[in-house]
């Protein structure tokens, strides 16, 4: 938890999920850190803070920028493939990963990064205007700004635009249930498969993340995919990957896509080399051998290991190279045209072409896009 900074004027909107403690502090119950706050103090995430007798969210309506991305960049390979998604984030994070690949946003301690102001309606309108099928809460974890994310998702839903969450899944049960009612697809980072990894490198715990995965797959209609960033010498042993894959197969089933992505040295982990492609390929073999049907490599170019194949007959269904769709053979109903087996996912006809490249979007309107 962070103490208040000198001259720190707290502004924001009332936050939910907290309670007063007998010792006078207020406990935030949004994530399993349960920060206990004195007057004027910020939580570990930096964006939730105590002001008077309540917890406020200090980043409501403020963003670190907007981009139009391909949905495959989230990564989501089985959710409206080839469509464009309006991506944004705020600042701060409730994890402290030493290997963070978005640290300039997640570790932001000043809001000078939050240059774009946008109401939920303005974001929904911008998504519709630019041909995006969905809006994604990404770059930093939406857990910490979930009230804003919910309002954006609700405004999007009114325009038939989907909402996507990219998160580490470190969230308490009540806010989690509230949040995911509005979320159509999620990619959850499963950062490793040992408590030691989470504790040592993220100051967090594995168990709540596994609870979130189980909850999403069995108690919501949210489409779920999982990403594991493989870091040389930290979480890439064949034993750990086998244990992770066996757990996913047993608890979530064969149809949840799993992405193994390549690490590059960043933030406080500059002493590790980039992940060799061979490690990603070996992990993919292990996960497939465990029974998982859709296992992908990421952050490398390798069409063979990034494409989707039919689990029934092995036919190529969707060709992919990095974030680009290179082939499309899926029938309109999401089945294999050769054997008729259903491919897990959310499909809506042939792929869109609007999201192949990242495009920054200037969005500085605060009131309904006008």
Residue numbers at the binding site for ligand SF4 (CB under 6 A): 28, 30-31, 33-35, 43-45, 48, 94, 144
Per-residue tokens: 14: 């009332």
DSSP string, 223-269: EEEEEEEE-TTTT--HHHHHHHHHHHHHHT-TTS-EEEEE---BTTB
Rounded to whole angstroms, the Cα distance separating 64 from 83 reads 23
Nearer to ligand SF4, 28 or 324 (CB): 28
Nearer to ligand SF4, 45 or 244 (CB): 45
Rounded to whole angstroms, the Cα distance separating 131 from 189 reads 27
Going by their DSSP bridges, the two strands 316-321 and 36-37 should be labelled as unpaired
Give least dist CB 159 to ligand SF4, A.
29
Nearer to ligand SF4, 1 or 243 (CB): 1
Give least dist CB 71 to ligand SF4, A.
27
Name beta bridge partners: 86. Answer: 68, 135
Give least dist CB 101 to ligand SF4, A.
20
Give least dist CB 66 to ligand SF4, A.
23
DSSP string, 48-106: EEEETTEEEETTTTEES-EEEEEGGGTT-SSBSTT-EEEEE--S--S---TT-SSHHHH
Name beta bridge partners: 297. Answer: 260
- Length, in residues, of the chain: 370
Per-residue tokens: 191: 């950062």
Nearer to ligand SF4, 48 or 74 (CB): 48
Nearer to ligand SF4, 48 or 259 (CB): 48
Residue where the block lists tokens 């994890």: 95
Nearer to ligand SF4, 35 or 295 (CB): 35
Nearer to ligand SF4, 80 or 204 (CB): 204
From residue 133, give the alpha-carbon distance in Å to each of 19, 33, 88: 38, 34, 14
Nearer to ligand SF4, 168 or 252 (CB): 168
Nearer to ligand SF4, 35 or 324 (CB): 35
E strand or H helix at 284: helix 277-289
Give least dist CB 140 to ligand SF4, A.
12
Name beta bridge partners: 298. Answer: 261
Give least dist CB 48 to ligand SF4, A.
4
Give least dist CB 26 to ligand SF4, A.
10
Give least dist CB 93 to ligand SF4, A.
8
Number of other CB atoms surrounding residue 159 within 10 Å: 12
Give the residue closest to ligand SF4 by C-beta.
Answer: 43
Give least dist CB 203 to ligand SF4, A.
10
Per-residue tokens: 74: 């989230």
Rounded to whole angstroms, the Cα distance separating 147 from 56 reads 10
Nearer to ligand SF4, 48 or 176 (CB): 48
Rounded to whole angstroms, the Cα distance separating 265 from 275 reads 9
Rounded to whole angstroms, the Cα distance separating 226 from 244 reads 11
Give least dist CB 205 to ligand SF4, A.
13
């Amino acid at each position: 938890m962070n103490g208040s900074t000198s001259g720190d004027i707290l502004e924001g909107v009332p936050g939910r999920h907290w309670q007063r403690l007998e010792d006078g502090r207020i406990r935030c119950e949004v994530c399993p850190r349960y920060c206990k706050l004195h007057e004027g103090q910020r939580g570990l995430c930096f964006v939730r803070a105590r002001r008077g007798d309540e917890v406020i969210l200090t980043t409501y309506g403020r963003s670190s920028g907007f981009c139009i991305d391909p949905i495959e960049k989230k990564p989501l390979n089985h959710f409206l493939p080839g469509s464009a998604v309006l991506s944004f984030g705020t600042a701060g994070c409730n994890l402290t990963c030493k290997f963070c690949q978005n640290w300039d946003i997640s570790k932001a301690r000043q809001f000078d990064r939050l240059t774009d102001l946008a109401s939920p309606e303005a974001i929904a309108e911008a998504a519709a205007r630019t041909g995006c099928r969905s809006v994604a809460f990404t770059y930093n974890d939406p857990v910490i700004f979930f009230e804003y994310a919910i309002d954006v998702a609700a405004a999007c839903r009114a325009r038939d635009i989907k909402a996507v969450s990219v998160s580490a899944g470190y969230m308490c049960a009540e806010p989690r249930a509230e949040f995911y009612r509005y979320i159509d697809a999620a990619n959850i980072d499963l950062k490793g498969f040992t408590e030691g990894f989470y504790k040592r490198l993220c100051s967090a715990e594995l168990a709540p993340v596994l609870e979130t995965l189980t909850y999403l797959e069995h108690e919501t209609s949210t489409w779920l995919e999982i990403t594991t960033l493989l870091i040389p010498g930290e979480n890439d042993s064949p034993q750990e990957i086998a244990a992770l894959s066996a757990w996913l197969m047993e608890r979530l089933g064969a149809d949840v896509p799993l992405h193994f992505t390549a690490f590059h040295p960043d933030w406080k982990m500059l002493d590790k080399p980039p992940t060799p492609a061979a490690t990603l390929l070996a992990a993919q073999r292990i996960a497939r051998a465990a029974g998982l049907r859709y296992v992908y490599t990421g952050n490398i170019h390798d069409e063979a290991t990034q494409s989707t194949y039919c689990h029934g007959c092995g036919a190529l269904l969707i060709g992919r190279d990095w974030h680009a769709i290179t082939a499309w053979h899926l029938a309109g109903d999401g089945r294999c045209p050769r054997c008729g087996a259903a491919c897990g996912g959310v499909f809506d006809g042939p792929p869109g072409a609007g999201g192949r490249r990242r495009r920054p979007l200037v969005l500085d309107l605060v009131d309904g896009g006008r």
